[in-house]
């Protein structure tokens, strides 16, 4: 099982179960077709430069990450039919249920614990 954690020690585990979208088909599908996402789960899409919420049924938070999992940008509470564009150097996007990324700030580093 993979987890994504905050790098600083005073923060709890952020995501217990990480879903990976790494193939073209997986990245295109993403979270489409789901009615929700548990707060303990997230999807790491890589490589990824931007995301859309077309046909989504629930809001999400998204963290745009560089290759070292440094947070470059946060889009919180993205609603269905919205777009979110990545800043330069984005390599991956972590999608979670809305509100899960509240403790995360731009400049934080996440860690993938596999």
Q: Is pLDDT of 13 > 50?
A: yes
- What whole-number percentage of the chain has pLDDT above 70? 86
pTM: 0.86
Q: CA-to-CA distance for 114 and 2, rounded, in angstroms? A: 4
Find the mean pLDDT for residues 10-32.
75
**3-state SS track over the chain:** CCEEEECCCCCCEEECEEEEECCHHHHHHCCCCCCCCCCCEEEEECCCCEEECCCCCCCEEEEEECCCCEEEEEEEEECCCCEEECCCCCCEEEEEECCCCCCCCCCCEEEEEC
pLDDT band at 5; cut points 50, 70, 90: low
Architecture of domain 3-105: Sandwich (2.60)
Question: What residues does each domain of the chain span?
Answer: 3-105
pLDDT digits (tens, 9 = 90+) for 32-85: 667 788 888 898 999 988 887 888 888 999 999 999 999 999 999 999 899 898
């Amino acid at each position: 099982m993979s987890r994504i954690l905050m790098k600083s020690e005073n923060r709890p585990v952020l995501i217990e179960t990480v879903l990976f979208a790494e193939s073209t088909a997986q990245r295109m599908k993403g979270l489409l077709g789901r009615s929700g996402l548990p707060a303990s789960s997230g999807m790491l899409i890589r490589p990824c430069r931007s995301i859309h919420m077309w046909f989504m049924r629930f809001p999400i938070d998204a963290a745009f990450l560089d290759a070292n999992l440094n947070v470059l940008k946060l889009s919180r509470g993205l609603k269905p039919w919205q777009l979110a564009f990545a800043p330069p150097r984005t390599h991956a996007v972590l999608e979670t249920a809305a509100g899960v990324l509240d403790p995360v700030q731009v400049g934080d580093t996440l860690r993938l614990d596999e």
